[in-house]
Amino acid sequence: MAGALEVPIQDIGELALKSNNPASISSTCTVFAESEVISLFAKGTKKEDIAAGIHKSIARRVAGMAKRIGVAPVLVFCGGVAKNVGVKNFLEQELGFEIVIPMLNGKSSAQLTGAIGAALIAQDQNNS
């Protein structure tokens, strides 16, 4: 989607937060959603509104799935997508509570959380 909007991937979350009028992205299929994005872009919809619409759509779907399994605070957001402030923001809005991003030495360790956990388990098993 960042490519379709001609925005660097690392900037799309910040761009989404600048929107005052998120565009409606209704497709659940990424191919069709990308077509919607290209169409909106061609119609002159602001990039930030399209970016916000993308993030809102993703957050709505993820929150819906999470609510079905019974998500509640404290929720820890791990993986590379946790570096996207737009996803975090819109997901918090959909869920109605703050999401925690793991930190290590004052920096996000969201991308490393799985590896750190695996290393701790391996260390524990090695010491047993």
Q: Is 2 exposed, middle or buried (0-12, 13-18, 19+ CB in 10 A)?
A: middle
Low-confidence ranges of the chain (pLDDT < 70): none
Backbone angles phi, psi at 75, to 5 degrees: -110, 125
| Residue 95 structural domain | 2-127
Q: What is the end-to-end Cα distance of the chain in Å, rounded? A: 47
Q: What is the model's pTM?
A: 0.83
pLDDT at res. 85: 94
pLDDT at res. 105: 86
pLDDT at res. 108: 80
Per-residue tokens: 80 = 């590379």
Q: What is the CATH number of the domain that holds 90?
A: 3.30.420.40
pLDDT at res. 12: 95
Residue 114 carries which side chain, given as an amino acid letter? G
| Integer Cα distance of 45 and 100 in angstroms | 32
pLDDT at res. 2: 86
DSSP reduced 3-state for 128:
coil
pLDDT at res. 34: 80
Would you state the torsion angle of the CA atoms of residues 81, 85, 90, 92, taken in this order, to the nearest 10 degrees?
90
- Total domains in the chain come to 1
pLDDT at res. 43: 92
